[in-house]
Amino acid sequence: MLDVLRARADWIVGLALAVALAVLLIATGEEKALVIGTTTGSAYGMVALGLVLVYKSSGVFNFAQGEFGTVALYALYMLDFEVNYWLALLGAVVVAAMMGFLTERIVVRPLFEAPRVILLVATAGVALLAIGVQIWFGDAQGKPIAKGFDRVDRVKVFGVQVPDQQLWLIAMLAVLAIVLGLFFTRTNLGLAIVGASQEPTATELVGISVRRLSSFVWVVAAVLGAFAALIAVPNGGSFAPGIMTTSFLIPAFTAAVLGGMTSLPGAFLGGVLIGIVQSVATTAPLFEDIPGTKETLVVFVVLLVVLVIRPQGLLGKGSA
C-alpha cells in the first residue's frame, strides 16, 4: 500500500496543490480567475506536454514548439476558404505534423551527436524561420480565425460563462493527457520512448533505433502544439505571425519547469497552475497598482522562483 502511495506521490502532491489553490481562490472570491485560468492554462498545458516530450527524447528545450502551432493556424486560415471547417482543421494538424517530421529530419537528426546547446539554438532558428515565412506569406497583420464551436452561453461555472470552444479545449486536453498516459505506460512504442530518454545505449542494445523514435516524438509534439493553437487561439478571434511563440511558449515553458521538465502529468498540471496565476494577476485587487502587462510579469516571477528554489520542479524527483 505504501509503495503504491509512493509511486503515485507526484500525482498526490499535484492534486493536493490544485485542490488547495482552488479552495483558496473560491474562499477569497476569485472563482472567476479560477475558471478563466483553468481554460487558458489548458492550452499552456498542451504546449508544455509537447515541450516535455521533446525534452525527454532529445534532451533539448524546443524553441520551435510554439511555431508548430502558428503554422497550423496559417494552414487552418488558408484551408478554411477552400473546404469544410473540420476538414481544414484536420489539414492544419497534418501540416503541423509534417513540420515536426521535417524539423526532426533536417535539423535535429544531423545534430544528433552535437552538443545540446547547438541543437537548442537550431530550434530557435526553426522558430525564427517559421515566423519569417509567415510574415512573407501574408503580412504581419492580425487575421481572423474561425472557431469550431460558436455558442458562448451554454455553460456557466461560478457565474462565469465558459464558451463551448473553451470546453472543447479542456476536453481535448483531458483526452490527450489520458491517451498519452496510456501510451507511455502500456504500449511498446511509448515504453521505448521513456526507456530511450533514460538509457539510450541500453535502448539500442535491445534493438530499438533511438533515431527512429525521435522522428515519432517530434511529430507527436508538433501535433500537440497544433491542437493547442487551433483550439485556444480562436477564442481571441484573430492571430498574427509568431503568436504561439510570443504568447504561449514562455508560459508553457514555465509550466513544464513547474512540472519538473520530464513529468507529463506535471506539465499538464503546471499549465493549469500558470493559467490560474496569470488570471489572478489580471483580476485580483492585490495587483491593481502594478502597471503594465501583469500576466507576463507573474509568469516570469513564477519561473524565476521555481528555478531558484526548486529547479527540479514541483513534481520532479530530487536528483533529476
Partner 1 sequence: MALLEIEELRVGYGFPVLMGISFEVEEGETAVLFGLNGAGKTTTVASIAGLLKPDSGVIRFDGEDVAGRPPTKLVSKGISLVPEGRRVFPALSVGNNLRLGAWSRRRHRNEIDERRQLVFDYFPRLAERADQAAGTLSGGEQQMLAIGRALMCKPRLLLIDEASLGLSPALAKTVFQVVKRINEDGVTVVIVEQNVGVLPYADRALIMEKGTLIFSGVGDEIQHANLRETYLGGDH
Binding residues for partner 1, rule: CB under 8 A, are 3, 7, 188, 191-192, 194-195, 198-199, 201-209
| Pick 128 or 191: Cβ nearer partner 1 | 191
CA distance 77 to 98: 17
Beta strands 155-157 and 160-162 are: antiparallel
Nearby residues of 163 by Cβ (< 8 Å), 6 or more positions away: 149, 151, 152, 235
Q: How far is the CB of 105 from partner 1 (least distance, A)?
A: 18
Rounded least distance, CB 192 to partner 1, Å: 6
Whichever of 3 and 289 has its CB closer to partner 1, that residue is: 3
CA atoms within 13 A of residue 285's CA, in its CB half-sphere: 3
Contact call for residues 277 and 37 (beta carbons, < 8 A) = yes
Task: Please give the biggest Cα pair distance in the chain.
Answer: 60
Nearer to partner 1, 13 or 157 (CB): 13
Structure-block grid coordinates of residue 299: 509568469
256 Cβ neighbours under 8 A, 6+ residues apart: 48, 51, 52, 55, 266, 267, 270
To partner 1, the closest distance from the beta carbon of 269 in angstroms equals 18
- The CB-of-207 to partner 1 minimum distance in angstroms stands at 4
- Cα dihedral 277→235→180→200 (10° resolution): -70
What residue has cell string 524546443? Answer: 62
Q: Nearer to partner 1 by C-beta: 28 or 198?
A: 198
> Cell numbers of 294, please?
501583469
Looking at the Cβ atoms of 192 and 249, the one nearer to partner 1 is 192
CA distances from 88 to 18, 91, 161, 244 (A): 36, 5, 28, 19
Q: How far is the CB of 263 from partner 1 (least distance, A)?
A: 10
The residue (of 207 and 285) whose beta carbon lies closer to partner 1 is 207
Closest to partner 1 by CB, 82 vs 212, is 212
Neighbours of 7 (CB within 10 A): 9
Q: How far apart are CA 51 and CA 210, in angstroms?
A: 18
